[in-house]
Structure 1
Amino acid sequence: MKKIILIMTILMCQLLLAYGQNVKIEGYIKDKSSGIPYATILLPGQKTQADSKGYYTMYIKSGVPFSVQLTAVGYKTFVQQFSSVQADTVINFILEPVPNTLDDVLISTSRKPENVKNVTASVTIVNKQKLEKELAIVPDLSTILANQVPGFAPTAQTGNNVGQNLRGRPMLVMIDGVSQSSPLRNAEVDLRSIDPSVLERIEVVKGATAIYGNGAAGGLVNYITMVPDTAARFAGKTQLNLNGSLVKVKNSEGGRISQMFYGKLGKFDYVVSGMYEQTGEYKDAKGDVVGPNYSLGETDTYNAFAKFGYVPAKNQRIQLSYNTYSSLQNSNFTLVNGNLATGQKATGVLGKPLGIPTGVDYNHNLNLSYKIDSTFLHSSLHADVYYETRKDVFYVSLGRFDGGDGQSLAKNDKRGARLFLETPILNLNSLKMNLAYGADFMKDKTAQPLVDGRVWVPTMDMTNIAPFAQADFNILGKLVFKTGLRYENVNIAVDDYRTLRTTGANNSTITPSFDVTGGNLKYSTYLFNAGLRYNQFNLFSPFVSFSQGFSVMDIGLALRDAKVNSIDKINTDAVKVNNYEAGFESKVAGLTFSASGYISTSKLGIEVVYDPATGLFNTARNPEKIYGFELAADYHLFDQLGLSASYSYTEGKRDIDKNGKFNDAVDMYLNGRRISAPKVTASVTYSPLKVLDLTLNYTGINSRNRFEKNSNGVYNGNEGAVKAYHLFSFAGIYQVKKNTRLTLGIDNIFNQDYFPARAQWFMQPGFYSKGRGTSVNFGISVSY
């Protein structure tokens, strides 16, 4: 009591001096038991967010009346008026939870925002806070997704994401819903399409998804870009990072700088960002240069991003966004192949590499959208048009084309329009029903020529039209039922072309050069989905779902390896996937636990298998069955300490004799390109001070051995045995001042000497490279 009287006396004495000056208000936003993480605090002219423990701090003018508005997912909006504050003050708030809500972000699995509790499929959300911790270690999206998403295949730490899929199936990679992938010629570089620092979150939907159609047989990864998080007219953030190897520092130093400006001007808002990164040499645990094929070492990366929004009325928004991304490897090393039989790793020696720099030459995205929340029949409408074009450059294939070297590149040009509407049909206390419907239209032109101009894969011109409808039922606020239908209509036009002669040892012909008659490939099918979720109890919230996915096969791969003289004689049938899944989520006290199991079947597959006789990869079209399960847990012991862990297991087989069974002697396991080894992740987050966050991460890849060695004593390509390895990383974030933050990231803390999973199963001498040894990333960011 005496302490309170003393504080009050001091405040009264300083009243006149403080009037009109900036003063600080700070405190905690809580519910009845603990702090509410990442609640949004809105004051006149400014907006901020509480930290992971619910602590916030803001500055206001003293002596001036003001109002505070607080919002958090799962809690009722709180508004309070204050007459004035004369000096630095502590104000704590208590929010009231909304019944039957989960304190998680909204996602868009059904093409519209919805709460996680209403989703009838497995999803993972990598939010802004998780992104920032991962970025403190390494700014590579393929690594971030592998660490954060159960069911996501492990990273190879390269610019190419071959074999990095979702649950053994191809996935659709998108930026704000615009596809970065092309099913016509899967270049497998789409994960690296944007600077992760401009993302608000990443939404991952696992399993075939009918609502997005072509290309999403395994699910989707949607990069959601940020919107201004302030009401100020002008704000900004500058970030600088320095990184390098701790094993052998020389020539490994690299840096990254990014600048962002954002704000709101009346009905307008904007975000503008630019980033440049240059990496040094990547060193393995022995201090040797990592093999340069697609390595992220010695890479120059650029990204420019802009988003402009206009709100003509309270229920409308017009938005224009543009993103351009480039990431090219400018290495000073030529490749030294590894030796698969002896275990000798691939590395590099000083010298100018053959060909032009590999990687993403350019990736441009332009998107114009219009949203209105309430129009005829209280419907909401979202329409957008988009354009995406990219060029990706591959490595040089030695002696493959007409007895000489060849370097290919993939060109993709995509444009389209989407219309999405949602109309409430019933709005009763006991039953609510919404109907979502619309159509997607896309033109996709893809080709894979050689750098010297020769045609390897001719231009494929795809027109894809897909109307869809989805009905959502919410019964008594406890039972959610969803069902929908999508119709895919695809036409792919291919001109006449001439195959390239490919060669093997002693210039022997593997595939001859001959003329192939083009034409039109047509596909049409219906995709159905249905799901059910019961939300009566937080202790046990189960769901079941069935969803069909569709993807045209890798047409370009089939065309370039044609053995016949007309495309209508090539097996280019599309893949239709049936995905069955069941799971649940439990929340009790500070523990959240989820589990799911799935089975994915298809009458045709797209298995890339290696032919030892020719040294080429071909496509097998057998029926496939993939199955597995995922477990994830998150536990907050108290405000300062949090634990999380996950386990992912996937298996798959091919029905070689096509008798509907997958356990016959002739049936085969799917190879490593499709099925990843079991994965374990864990993390410990500790905040000893409100300005300090420390995180220790663990990623473990278990062993997988499904195939026999060939007559040469080595495994065939894509069939190599994976030996287990264990990686630890650390991220520390220290808030020096209100606007200044320091970060320290250490990757592979214990300098594990290992081959990444892809290097082991791929079994290609040029890609048999070790993983990166211990590396450090130090950063500073200033907000204003």
Structure 2
Amino acid sequence: MKCIPSVLLCCLLFYCSTVTAQVIKADTTSRIRTMANADTLSDVIVSASRRPENIRNIAASVTVIPRHKLETEMAINPDLTAILANQVPGYAPTAQSGSNVGQNLRGRPMLVMVDGVSQSSPLRNAEVDLRSIDPAVLQQIEVVKGATAIYGNGAAGGLVNYVTMVPDTTTAFGGKTDVQLNGSLVKVKNSVGGRINQLFYGKVGKFDYVVSGTAEQTGEYKDAKGDLVGPNYSLGETDTYNAFAKLGFEPGRNQRLQLVYNYYSSLQHSNYTLVNGNLATGQKATGVLGKPLGEPTGAQYNHNLHLSYRVDNLFLHTSLIADVYYEKREDVFYVSLGRFDGGDGQSLANNDKKGARLFLQTPVINSPSLKANLAYGVDYLRDKTSQPLVDGRVWVPTMDMTNLAPFAQADLTIVQNLVFKTGFRFEDVRIDVDDYQTLRITNASGATVTPSFMVKGGTLKYNTGLFNAGLKYNRFELFSPFISFSQGFSVMDIGLALRDAKVNSIDKINTDAVKVNNFEIGFDSRYKGLQFTAAAYRSTSKLGIEVIYDPATGLFNTARSPELVYGFELAAAYRFNRTLTVGGSYSYTEGKRDINNNGKYNDDVDLYMNGRRIAAPKATGNVTWTPLQALDLMLNYTGIMNRERFAKNSTTGIYNGNEGAVKAYNLFNFAASYKVNKNTRLSVGIENLFNEDYFPARAKWFMQPGFYSKGRGTAFAVGVSVRY
């Protein structure tokens, strides 16, 4: 057992005492608040259009995970990729991994943000951005689904915004300590881990602060048979650290200056080397004792620094938000055996961002029958991304992107019921790449797949306008419909194209950007204790960015065929009384590629999109029950259904990479929380309650022997939370 769980056990005993509690609430730099009853649609305010507004006025599908749901999920498992998969319809299932490959929104790439600051880089989509911050410092998570023109480059499938906390309290000093032990219930030996989070907050005069530190160590992950889950990118034996500070100053009633710093690191320090699975026989991947090759995998570091200034009631009652930010992160990938010039290689993803934003909002009309607002501003981003090998060799050269994007957004509310929104954003993108030399790539026998040669660099330029419009009618709570059209934009995964270059100049590589047209129609309904939402969508792009596996070379390439993605989502919740609520959702996504580029998607040559982009259908359910005032019980269900769209390779007898058939599985999680007194709360969480023996969806469709691992078996978590 590692050292942290032992310390945590002592902390559990020490902190089970009575102390004075203060409540910490939260907002963001734009003063976004969650109300007392966050499950009621009319009481939740989100920032889907970059300013606070009622969720009922948004003409798009939005999911908000409030603080109390985050706390319940964290009592089971604090992994954000799992929380999002459990809570958000249309979101692909988690792989229980440090990588979120294949975990997208409605079949398209998404933009991950912390307080509106991007953690993603479309230049080389490393697909590790979901694990950028610890959930202990989050007030809520906002998920906007479908292409969005509001945030621009990278949000072709929507966005995930992690909203952090600031205090709303009169006390000068308050705090909260959370301690948790966790491990396997199938085979406890070597599986026990734990986490501790310490939070301080307060308000002194015009100043307020939040300071938080989190340390977590996980033990070995065990599957339903008690065997070690394959260690490739597993979250078992992982050390995670998060340091967070937010300082605020309000010089006047309508002004706020705020500085935020966040540091996040999550690295796997495994005691096992990988034993590959066998795709033909169904043998799962596992591990044997031994030192893994290379450096520990995961997020080496992620630094975020964010300074913002807000002032209200300027000229014509205009409000202004100006901010500057800096983000620098490095992520470490697994060792590829015998791939690079006949030897092993381990790559890094380096990302360095600097940006500034100016956002203004002016009320144009404010009368009982008509309200109109105009929002406008400009975004600036400088993003440098590269993917070298650990030993210093260049695999993907540095790509230096400058992105300038002015925008304007207008909304009208007619007689308080009819809401119309429209806007425009112009993207001006420039990407500079120096001359570089490709690495010689070999196959398993050492033969050359792609030779090493010089590639002439240059400048790539993209200019495009993005339009959005939406209409929402809120006259009747029983039926509140909306319809919307929104365009999204993203440069393709240029790093993937550059590292696999087969020509000697980047101007000969197809690096054209992707522009997405997203149509959506839906409604929400409320009747007494019932809430119901439904949405259907259709998303098209003239160019694709699907990653295709080539079995002849063992390499992944990008297909540029036109794409169609479509689907629907249903969600319902019913509150029987103050103590019992039930809910559930169903989401379905499908996608096809127009191989012959004739504008149709049903020709014999046209193909379905693979599992990396299109998730299997997903159903969720939940029951929350409060039999006693101090006791909360919750049962969650997540069901992943079958998806089989491709035939097996006639030569190998197995599916090609990214095309494997997903087999259905059903997972139940349980959480209980007991309030010992007004300051102390105990919690128990059980993951995979019925010990389902299964391969996660990604293990099935990915079809890579090193990732062919079973899912985690029944696991427990016990914790105590104390406020003072």
Report TM bin, short chain: over 0.9
Residue of structure 2 in register with 1:453 after alignment: 392
Name which of 93, 104, 108 aligns with 1:154: 93
Whether contact under 8 Å (2:81, 2:131) holds in the other structure is: yes
The answer to whether structure 1 residue 638 and structure 2 residue 577 are counterparts is yes
Alpha-carbon separation, structure 1, partners of 2:618 and 2:445: 43
- Correspondence for 1:598 among 537, 544, 555: 537
What is the aligned partner in structure 2 of residue 729 from structure 1?
A: 669
Per-residue deviation at 1:104? 2.5
Shift of the alpha carbon at 1:229?
A: 3.6
The equivalent of 2:525 in structure 1 is 586
Structure 1 match to 2:264:
325
Looking at structure 1, the residues matched to 74 and 321 of structure 2 have their Cα atoms a distance apart, in angstroms, of: 32
* Kept in 2: contact 1:154–1:757 (CA 8 A): yes
Q: Which has the higher Rg, Structure 1 or Structure 2? A: 1
Q: Which secondary structure does the structure 2 equivalent of 1:699 belong to?
A: strand
SS state of the match for residue 683, structure 2? strand
Give the Cα–Cα distance (whole angstroms) in 2 for the partners of residues 301 and 432 of structure 1. 48
After superposition, give the CA deviation of every residue in 1:622-669 in whole Å (9 maximum; x if it has no partner). 000000000000110011000010000000000000000000000000
Correspondence 1:691-702 to 2 at 5 A: 691-702=630-641
Shift of 1:102: 4.7
After superposition, the C-alpha distances for 1:44-64 in whole angstroms (9 at most, x for unaligned) are: x96578xxxxxxxxxxxxxxx
- Code of the residue aligned with 1:597 in structure 2: it is A
* Structure 2 equivalent of residue 395 of structure 1: 334
Question: Aligned with 1:506: secondary structure?
Answer: coil
Aligned position for 1:58:
none
SS of the residue 1:142 aligns to: helix
| Contact 1:74–1:102 (8 Å) recurs in 2 | no
* Shift in Å, 1:117: 1.1
Q: Which residue of 2 aligns with 1:292?
A: 231
Pick aligned residue for 2:299 from 333, 336, 360: 360
Alignment of 1:256-655 (within 5 A): 256-655=195-594
Which residue of 656, 661, 668 corresponds with 2:607? 668
Contact 2:318 2:363 in 1 (8 A): yes
Higher relative contact order (CA 8 A, sep 6+): 2
- One-letter amino acid of the counterpart of residue 750, structure 1: F
* Matched residue, 2:15: none
Contact 1:209 1:548 in 2 (8 A): yes
In the alignment, which residue of structure 2 is the partner of 1:752?
692
Aligned partner of 1:129 among 45, 63, 68: 68
Confirm whether residue 715 of structure 1 aligns to residue 655 of structure 2: yes
* Letter in structure 2 aligned against 1:753: D
TM superposition outliers: structure 1 runs of 4+ over 2 Å: 45-49, 71-75, 101-104
Q: Which amino acid aligns with 2:655?
A: Y
Aligned equivalents of 2:673, 2:429: Cα separation in 1: 49
Counterpart position of 2:714: 774
Supply the AA of the counterpart residue of 2:341.
D
Map 1:185-264 onto structure 2 (within 5 A). Answer: 185-264=124-203
Distance in structure 2 (CA, Å) of the matches to 1:74 and 1:257 = 27
Aligned to 2:43: 104
Q: What is the deviation of 1:373?
A: 1.7
For the residues of structure 2 that align with 1:330 and 1:48, how far apart are their CA atoms? 35
* 8 Å contact kept, 2:46–2:142: yes
Tell me if the contact between 1:727 and 1:748 (Cα under 8 Å) persists in the aligned partners. yes
SS of match in other structure, 2:106 = coil
Paired letter, 1:243: N
Cα deviation for residue 374 of structure 1 reads: 1.1
Partner Cα separation in structure 1 for residue 455 and residue 41 of structure 2: 57
SS of residue paired to 1:369: strand
Unaligned runs of 5+ in 2: 1-18, 26-32
Counterpart AA for 1:394: F
Taking the aligned partners of 1:292 and 1:104, their CA distance within structure 2 comes to: 43
Whether contact under 8 Å (2:22, 2:174) holds in the other structure is no
How far did 1:604 drift? 0.2
Q: Distance in 1 between matches of 2:194 and 2:79?
A: 14
- Matches of 1:246 and 1:261, distance apart in 2: 33
CA RMSD of aligned residues (A): 1.5
Q: Secondary structure at the match of 1:752?
A: coil
Change beyond 3 A, Cα 1:361–1:176: same
AA matched with 1:772 = R
Give 1:227 deviation, angstroms: 1.1
Give yes or no for contact 1:271–1:308 (8 Å, CA) kept in 2.
Answer: yes
* Contact 1:73-1:103 within 8 A present in 2 as well: no
C-alpha separation between the residues in 2 aligned to 1:609 and 1:257? 41
1:365 deviates by: 0.2
Deviation at 1:72, TM superposition (A): 8.5
* 1:429 CA drift (Å): 1.4
Maintained 8 Å contact 1:210/1:549: yes
Cα distance, 1:231 vs structure 2? 1.6
Q: Hey, what's the Cα distance between the residues in 1 that align with 2:168 and 2:337?
A: 51
**Which amino acid letter does the alignment assign opposite residue 589 of structure 2?**
T
Q: Secondary structure at the match of 2:475?
A: coil
1:226 maps to amino acid: M
TM-score normalised according to structure 1 size: 0.88
1:17 equivalent in structure 2: none
Q: What does the per-residue CA deviation read over 1:287-306, in whole Å, with 9 as the maximum and x for residues that have no partner?
A: 01000100000000000000
